[in-house]
């Protein structure tokens, strides 16, 4: 495994990193999606208690991603805040960290379905989408969009079995035409790339770049489906015993 996978999207060279961020070297731009800041406190208000450190962990990881590359601009692809009250629930340290981050680099907040109007308190610019250099940045993929679309929203994940071991995790999903980002937030979960919801977006197949603490593993759709069928067959044989 390597720390990032090279991707060419609409002729633009990109890097899909193991931390779940996408780097555009020529644009000195870092792209992340679905931070879902303060998701933990949102669940706590409904009686589902989770450790209240998700925002801190997410922001610390984002700071490391910014520090590790030459970045002049950060694009957050929507659902940066889990809900409209998330900004008010941020702790003081997290608020200061977020303000320091937007003072460090030009920041663009793409509106998401969880945060259609990201709060202006933290600096940066809020837009519905952004078109630049052959790329289109938005929160949710649009089947009518042409080449170069980069989006989030679905939190794709993939699993693969090989040589008796299984690797499963968030992933980048792309076909050279469009790319869907993994969720960057700490409490975000995911939707399998084999779910039918993706079919209208990737009608001629796709590749995934599975992220883990060990690096990035790039896999074709065919190999994923073969692995899935093999696992299903093995499970069926065990049930028949």
Asked whether the beta carbons of 29 and 73 are under 8 A apart, the reply is yes
3-state secondary structure of 22: strand
Sequence ranges of the domains in the chain: 4-240
Own/partner contacts of 124-131, CB < 8 Å, gap of 24 or more, are: 124/74, 130/75
pLDDT of residue 41: 63
DSSP conformation letters of 155-201: -EEEEEEETTEEEEEEEEEE-SSEEEPPP-STT---EETTSGGGTTT
pLDDT digits (tens, 9 = 90+) for 12-27: 999 999 999 999 999 9
pTM of structure: 0.90
Residues 6+ away with beta carbon under 8 Å from 221: 193, 202, 205, 206, 207, 208
- Higher-confidence residue of 48 and 92: namely 92
Tokens representing residue 101 in the block: 């981050």
pLDDT band, very low/low/confident/very high, at 165 (cuts 50, 70, 90): confident
pLDDT digits (tens, 9 = 90+) for 173-228: 999 999 999 999 987 889 999 999 999 999 999 999 999 999 999 999 999 988 87
Residue with tokens 């495994």: 1
Rounded CA gap, 126 and 46, in Å?
A: 29
Tokens representing residue 56 in the block: 């801190």
Residues 6+ away with beta carbon under 8 Å from 135: 9, 10, 12, 24, 148, 149, 150
pLDDT of residue 125: 93
pLDDT band, very low/low/confident/very high, at 240 (cuts 50, 70, 90): very low
pLDDT band, very low/low/confident/very high, at 28 (cuts 50, 70, 90): very high
């Amino acid at each position: 495994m390597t720390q990032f996978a090279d991707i060419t999207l609409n002729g633009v060279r990109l890097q899909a990193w193991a931390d779940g961020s996408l780097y555009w070297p020529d644009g000195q731009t870092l792209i992340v999606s679905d931070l879902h800041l303060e998701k933990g406190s949102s669940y706590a208000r409904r009686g589902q208690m989770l450790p209240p450190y998700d925002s801190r962990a997410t922001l610390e990881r984002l700071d490391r991603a910014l520090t590790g590359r030459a970045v002049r601009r950060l694009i957050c692809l929507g659902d940066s805040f889990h809900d409209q009250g998330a900004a008010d629930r941020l702790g003081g340290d997290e608020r200061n960290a977020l303000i320091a981050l937007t003072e460090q680099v030009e920041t663009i907040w793409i509106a998401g379905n969880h945060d259609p109007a990201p709060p202006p308190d933290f600096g940066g610019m809020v837009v519905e989408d952004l078109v630049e250099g052959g790329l289109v940045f938005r929160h949710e993929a649009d089947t009518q969009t042409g080449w170069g679309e980069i989006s989030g929203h679905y939190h794709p994940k993939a699993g693969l079995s090989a040589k008796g071991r299984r690797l499963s995790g968030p992933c980048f999903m792309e076909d050279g035409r469009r790319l869907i980002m993994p969720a960057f937030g700490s409490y975000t979960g995911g939707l399998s790339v084999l779910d039918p919801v993706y079919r209208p977006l990737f009608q001629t197949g796709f590749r995934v770049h599975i992220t883990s603490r060990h690096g990035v593993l790039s896999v074709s759709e065919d190999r994923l489906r073969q692995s899935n069928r093999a696992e299903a067959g093995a499970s069926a044989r065990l049930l028949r015993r």
